[in-house]
Amino acid sequence: MLGAGRMKLETFGLLGMLLVLMHTAAACEFGPSPYGSSGIVCRMTKPAALLLNQETAQVVQTAFRNAKFPNITGERSMRLLGKVAYELTNIQVKELSLEQSEVELREADAIHIAIRNVTASFQGTLTYGYAGAWFLRLFHAVDFEIESSIDLQINIDLMCQKDQVAADASDCYLTFHKLTLHLQGDKEPGWLKQLFTDFISFTLKFVLRREVCSEINSLAQMLANFIHELAANFVQDKGIGVDISLASAPLITASYVESYHKGLVWYQNQSAAFGDSGFSPALLPASRMLYFWFSQHVLSSLASAAFLDQRLQGTITGHQLQALFGAAQSEAQRQAVQKIFQGSSYNDSVARVWSLAQPRISLQPQGAVVESLVAAEISIFPAGEQPRVVLYMEKEVTVTIRAAYADKKLLLHPSEPRIEFRVLRCTADPSGSDPSLRSFLQSLISQAGIPEVTSRIEEALTSLMNSKGLHLFEIRNPEIITRQGYVLVQLDFSFPRHLLLDFLQDKL
């Protein structure tokens, strides 16, 4: 093989991202509804494909520089000279340049990549010998240099294997515009050079075609698996994950590629199916580079899994408590704070907040409407006394949240919530006859409590996404848009080149 390094070529930047998005129906069975079982949909448009294709030049050069080329041998019978044999060894790339790379999305589930004017020079050692008439035997070794100019065309067919993308890049062609052999630095024509150019030319072209295309085909599947693993890792954390296996055949047009994924949330190796997701390709525009469509079911299932995994709870202590309750402005509010804490300092107090039931999420044009039954309690730890709960409450909270992404951080903007107390017990007001306490708590929850919880969720989700590598991408003008029953994320981006180069270095 042209070395594990071969022109692992071109497909790289472009192919790696595109292949994970799609497959053909040839090897997988799908339900009767083309999109109904899709919880997540991804659309990559032609501008994104063009951008990724720009990365191929650097990847091609990296692959060539790290290639370990095989020895090339051959022999031929010559009149008077007898049998002439040759071997090209120690082949290395001396120079390499790539002038142009183009990509085209075709309707028949194919990606066409054309790489033009790949100029490469190779150097090594030519050992040749011939057994002539009258038992004359001569053997020589000379340095050589090969100058070549090549066009490469690849048609990539997409298939589904084990519910994920597989690629067939065997439809691969190399066109040689130039293939010149120079011996010992002599670039003038001579009988020896002409003799071996004729011999070697056919063999070298055959080897390049075979090995280059074989490596491209192999790398195409490696890249598909690599990107699939990255994506699968991105949507799982500990015991919670999302099934991104393919739910339907892709849609490929001249302007975009669209893929459909099941989006079933699993928790402790269990997941639940859902009905028609309501997706239609008409829901997505094509003006931006990348789109992700999520059904309401996916987000609701994630919230339920987080609840079951006891992630929807938190503790507030010390200065955080002081920041919450120290904002009391009026005399009535300050008196309410005194009643709650009974003279204890914030450093001797702890507040716990947790969800009593699975949150209900409804996606609407104004945002994600979240309904949750929440409990909160405050305990104090007086010196020399047993800890005691001084406040306990249960409340039904309904809040609409709009999300955004900026400066590599997730931002959540809650609206004015609707709060309904179910239970409210305070040791300083056991009869519940003090309306100012309820009023203060309602104001505190609205103005400080929910923003505090939202801020913590922002930090946790941003940290989780960055741990998966999202911060490595340069995301431009991201928008998170909610509609009836789904949320749409649309953005432009720059691909982190080093991810592909690191992948290549591991494989070379």
DSSP-based three-state secondary structure for 465: helix
Q: Is 163 left (phi over 0), alpha (psi -120 to 50) or beta?
A: left
The backbone torsions φ and ψ at residue 343, rounded to the nearest 5 degrees and listed phi first, read 85, -5
Q: What is the pLDDT of residues 393-433, one digit of tens each?
A: 999 999 999 999 999 999 999 999 999 999 999 988 887 77
Q: Which residues contact 415 (CB under 8 A, 6 or more apart)?
A: 366, 367, 399, 400, 401, 402
Alpha carbons 493 and 490: distance in angstroms, whole number:
10
**Amino acid present at 24:** T
What proportion of the chain, given as a percentage, has pLDDT over 70? 81
| Whether 257 contacts 15, CB under 8 Å | no
Alpha carbons 145 and 92: distance in angstroms, whole number:
10
Side by side, the strands of the sheet bearing 164-183 are 72-78, 82-106, 110-131, 137-161, 164-183
pLDDT of residue 17: 43
Judged against a pLDDT cut of 80, whether residue 139 lies above it is answered with no
The token pair that represents 82 in the structure block: 């007898």
Alpha carbons 272 and 279: distance in angstroms, whole number:
19
The gap from C-alpha 230 to its chain's centroid, in whole angstroms, comes to 6
Going by C-alpha positions, the residue among 422, 400, 423, 421 that lies closest to residue 412 is 400
The token pair that represents 53 in the structure block: 């294709």
**Amino acid present at 111:** I
Entry pTM: 0.81
Judged against a pLDDT cut of 60, whether residue 8 lies above it is answered with no
| Whether 377 contacts 329, CB under 8 Å | no
Q: What is the pLDDT of residues 247-258, one digit of tens each?
A: 887 777 888 888
Strands 256-261 and 236-237, sheet pairing: unpaired
Q: What is the pLDDT of residues 430-452, one digit of tens each?
A: 877 778 888 889 989 998 899 99
What DSSP character marks residue 358? -
The gap from C-alpha 348 to its chain's centroid, in whole angstroms, comes to 45
Strands 246-252 and 313-317, sheet pairing: unpaired
Q: What is the pLDDT of residues 81-99, one digit of tens each?
A: 667 778 888 888 788 887 7
Q: Which residues contact 188 (CB under 8 A, 6 or more apart)?
A: none
Going by C-alpha positions, the residue among 179, 324, 305 that lies closest to residue 241 is 305
The residue to which tokens 């991810």 are assigned: 499
Q: What is the pLDDT of residues 187-216, one digit of tens each?
A: 655 666 666 676 677 777 777 777 777 777
The gap from C-alpha 470 to its chain's centroid, in whole angstroms, comes to 8
Alpha carbons 259 and 153: distance in angstroms, whole number:
24
| Whether 88 contacts 125, CB under 8 Å | yes
Q: Is 432 left (phi over 0), alpha (psi -120 to 50) or beta?
A: left
Side by side, the strands of the sheet bearing 474-483 are 246-252, 256-261, 40-45, 290-295, 486-494, 474-483
Please report which confidence band the pLDDT of residue 24 belongs to, taking 50, 70 and 90 as the band edges: very low
Burial 244-281 (b: 16+ CB within 10 A, else e): bebbbbbbbeeebbbbbbbbbbbbeeebeebeebebeb
3-state helix, strand, coil in the chain (%, to 5): 30, 45, 25
Span of 126-130, 138-142, 226-230 with lowest mean pLDDT:
138-142
For the chain, the average pLDDT equals 81
